[in-house]
Homo-oligomer: A and B are copies of this chain.
């Protein structure tokens, strides 16, 4: 069964490679997919959103995720089975919660902090290597979830809360969910919400954030506006997003996660 990995380890150090080594030692031939290791350090919500977005495009399997500022403390390490059969492995800090919502909820959960699959001695700072990777590998090899740790009530798992946008008659008050490396900023709005404010393809809207105000064109893709122009489009995950064609919208508008953004019809 495929193992997928998502972390904030980056590629400068050997953390990802060592996790691969641990997995390959246990299951030499399992396909491994690195979803990304570029989650901003300690950004649980960014990781949770990316995992949720990517999930439908990943083969069913064991999905390990590690963004873990509380590593080495009493925070739980968990493995869960979702309604659709996918298995998720990671710290119990909300990182996995948007993914399991999308995958049919949690039908079985275990605490793997003292998993029989763990590598001893477990270090205080690298549970990716010592706990999560060996647990994920054994699950991918067919080990039973119930044998990977101690049973846990799914209701006790940590859930993540996302900010909620409010959509009025001619404006929407939204928030930045995440910013990608090109400076494109996804908002907690979908296309239906935009239509409610009168925004249709080709129309102009007013974008206000942090005291700055700028007009954007509602379009389908970057090349529909001139280089340097602001656009509002439905991104590849179904969110409305702000971007600048061949530019960096986040830098120019000061957009960062949780920042409020007002989108209003432009008259």
Tell me the minimal C-beta distance from A263 to chain B in angstroms: 19
A125 CB contacts on chain B under 8 angstroms: 221-222, 233, 235-236
Distance of A73 Cα from B236 Cα, bound (Å)? 15
Interface string of A121-165 (1 = CB under 8 A from B): 001111001100000000000000000000000000000000000
* Chain A interface, DSSP helix/strand/loop, else mixed: loop
Question: Which residue in chain B gives the minimum CB-CB distance to A236?
Answer: B126
Would A31 and B33 count as touching, CB distance under 8 A?
no
Would A13 and B36 count as touching, CB distance under 8 A?
yes
Tell whether A120 is near chain B: CB-to-CB under 8 Å: no
Would A21 and B4 count as touching, CB distance under 8 A?
yes
- Residues A68-83 near B (CB distance < 8 A): 69-73
Would B28 and A11 count as touching, CB distance under 8 A?
no
Contact of A21 among B28, B59, B124 (CB under 8 A): B59
Distance of A126 Cα from B70 Cα, bound (Å)? 34
Tell whether A196 is near chain B: CB-to-CB under 8 Å: no
Tell me the minimal C-beta distance from A27 to chain B in angstroms: 10
Distance of A129 Cα from B21 Cα, bound (Å)? 22
Distance of A35 Cα from B16 Cα, bound (Å)? 7
Would A236 and B59 count as touching, CB distance under 8 A?
no
Question: Which positions in A face B, CB cutoff 8 Å?
Answer: 2, 4, 6, 10-14, 16-18, 20-22, 24-25, 28-29, 31, 33-38, 41-42, 50, 53-54, 57-59, 69-73, 123-126, 129-130, 180-182, 220-224, 233-236, 246
27 A/B residue pairs, CB under 8 Å, sorted by A: A10-B38, A10-B181, A11-B11, A13-B38, A13-B180, A14-B35, A16-B34, A16-B36, A17-B33, A17-B36, A18-B54, A18-B57, A18-B58, A20-B33, A21-B33, A21-B58, A21-B59, A22-B57, A42-B246, A57-B129, A69-B246, A72-B222, A73-B221, A73-B224, A124-B220, A125-B233, A130-B236
